[in-house]
Amino acid sequence: AQRVTQPEKLLSVFKGAPVELKCNYSYSGSPELFWYVQYSRQRLQLLLRHISRESIKGFTADLNKGETSFHLKKPFAQEEDSAMYYCALGFYSGGYQKVTFGTGTKLQVIP
C-alpha cells in the first residue's frame, strides 16, 4: 500500500541553522511527491513538488528513488519558516488519482 512516513513530529532549529525535514515513501509505481506547508492560522498550501525541480522560499527537495526519500532542505532557517510541513504522495488507484499525506512535522525556528 502507499505510505508516506515523516518520522519527526517536531523539529526545532536555531535561526540560521540548516533544516532537513525527512520524508520516506512506499509506492510500487512512479511517485509524484509534494511538500505542503501550513503556517499558523492559514490554510494548507503547496510548497513545492518534485516534478518542478524548483526552489521555493529557499527550500529544495530531491527525490531519491533508491532510498525512497524526498527530504526537504533549507541551508539557513528563518523565523518565518516556522510551520507545519506535510509530505504527500500522488498516485493512481482504481483509475482515480489520489494523494496520501504524511503525519506532518512541525518546524520551530528559534530566534
Partner 1 sequence: SAVISQKPSRDICQRGTSLTIQCQVDSQVTMMFWYRQQPGQSLTLIATANQGSEATYESGFVIDKFPISRPNLTFSTLTVSNMSPEDSSIYLCSVGRLAGVQDTQYFGPGTRLTVL
Nearer to partner 1, 94 or 111 (CB): 94
With binding defined as CB under 8 A, does residue 10 bind partner 1? no
Site string for partner 1, 62-91 (x = CB under 8 A): ------------------------x---xx
43-50: long-range pairs with CB below 8 Å, 24+: 44/86, 47/72, 47/85
Q: Which of 57, 92, 108, 110 binds partner 1 (CB under 8 A)?
A: 92
DSSP-derived 3-state class of residue 79: helix
